[in-house]
Amino acid sequence: MKILAISGSPRPNGNTASLMEVVLESAKRTNPNTEVVEYNMHRLNCKGCQGCLACKKPEVETCVQNDELSPILKEMLEADAWILGTPVYMGHTSAQLKLLLDRMYCFTGPNRTVRIPKGKKCIFVITQGAAGDRHKDIIDLFSRFMAWRGVSTKFVRAVGLTLSPGFTQETLEEANALGKWVIRQE
Ligand SMILES: Cc1cc2nc3c(=O)[nH]c(=O)nc-3n(C[C@H](O)[C@H](O)[C@H](O)COP(=O)(O)O)c2cc1C
C-alpha cells in the first residue's frame, strides 16, 4: 500500500499539514507496512498547466512539462491512494493546490479516457479560519471532479482555526477514521 500525500499549504507545520499528519499516522497504525511519500506543492519548482493538450495524445503517459511536478503526477497514477490538503484561501483552494488540480488534467487521455487506474482512493483535507462552511464549494467541485474519474473520495475539514493547530475531538475522530478507511481493501 503506497500513499502519496501532497499538501497545498505553504506552511509546513500549519493546520493543513497537522491534520494531514493525523490521517497519515492513523493509516500507518492500521497497516505498519504502509509506504508514505510526502510532497509540498510550495516547495516544488513547477508551473501551471500550459494548455498544450499534448496529454490528449494516445502515446503520452502523463504531463509533458519538464519540471519537478511531472514525475509526481506519474507517481500519483501508480500510488494506491492520495491525501491532498489545502487551506481555504479566499473561498477556494490555495493557488498551490489549484496548480496541482489543473496539472491533473493529464489524467484524462484522448476521447476523455481516464488514465487513473480503478480502485484509487483520495482523502481531501481542508482547513479554514472562519466558522461555517466556506469550504463547501471546494467539496462540491472536487467531489464531481473525482467521481467522474472514478476515484473514491472522502473529505475531512477543520474550521474556526487560528494560526496554531487545535482540532476538535470530532475532527480528530473523523481524521483517524479516514486513515483506517484508506487502508481498508474494499
Ligand atoms: C491568503 C489567505 C486567504 C484566506 N482565506 C480564507 C477564507 O476565505 N476563508 C476562511 O475561512 N479562512 C481563510 N484563510 C485562513 C486559512 O484558511 C486558515 O488559517 C488555514 O487553516 C491555514 O492553513 P495552514 O496553517 O495550513 O496554512 C485565509 C488565509 C490566507 C493566508
Pocket flag, ligand 1, residue 14 (CB < 6 Å): yes
Domain ranges across the chain = 2-183
Cβ partners under 8 Å of residue 14, min gap 6: 87, 127, 163, 165
Separation CA 21–CA 28 (nearest Å): 10
Residue bearing the CA closest to ligand 1, atom 12: 129
- Position 100 scores a pLDDT of 98
Give the residue carrying C-alpha cell 484508506. Answer: 182
| Torsion angle defined by CA atoms of residues 73, 123, 81 and 45, in that order, rounded to the nearest 10 degrees | 20
**Chunked in runs of 10, what are the mean pLDDT values of the chain (186 residues)?**
97 96 98 97 98 96 96 98 97 97 97 95 97 92 94 96 88 98 87
- Position 151 scores a pLDDT of 97
Q: How far is the CA of 87 from the centre of ligand 1 (A)?
A: 5
For 99, the grid coordinates are 496548480
pTM: 0.97
Q: How far is the CA of 133 from the centre of ligand 1 (A)?
A: 13
Amino acid letter for position 131: A
- Position 185 scores a pLDDT of 76
3-state secondary structure of 60: coil
- Position 19 scores a pLDDT of 97
Q: How far is the CA of 118 from the centre of ligand 1 (A)?
A: 33
Nearest ligand 1 atom, CA 9: 26
- Position 46 scores a pLDDT of 98
Classify the C-alpha dihedral 17-185-29-170 as positive or negative.
positive
- Position 117 scores a pLDDT of 96
Pocket flag, ligand 1, residue 71 (CB < 6 Å): no
Give the architecture (CATH level 2) of 2-183. 3-Layer(aba) Sandwich (3.40)
- Position 165 scores a pLDDT of 75
What DSSP string runs through 93-155?
Answer: --HHHHHHHHHGGGGB-GGG-B-SPTT-EEEEEEE-SSSS-TTHHHHHHHHHHHHHTT-EEEE
The HSE-up count of residue 34 (CA atoms within 13 Å, CB side) is: 25
- Position 143 scores a pLDDT of 95
Cβ partners under 8 Å of residue 144, min gap 6: none
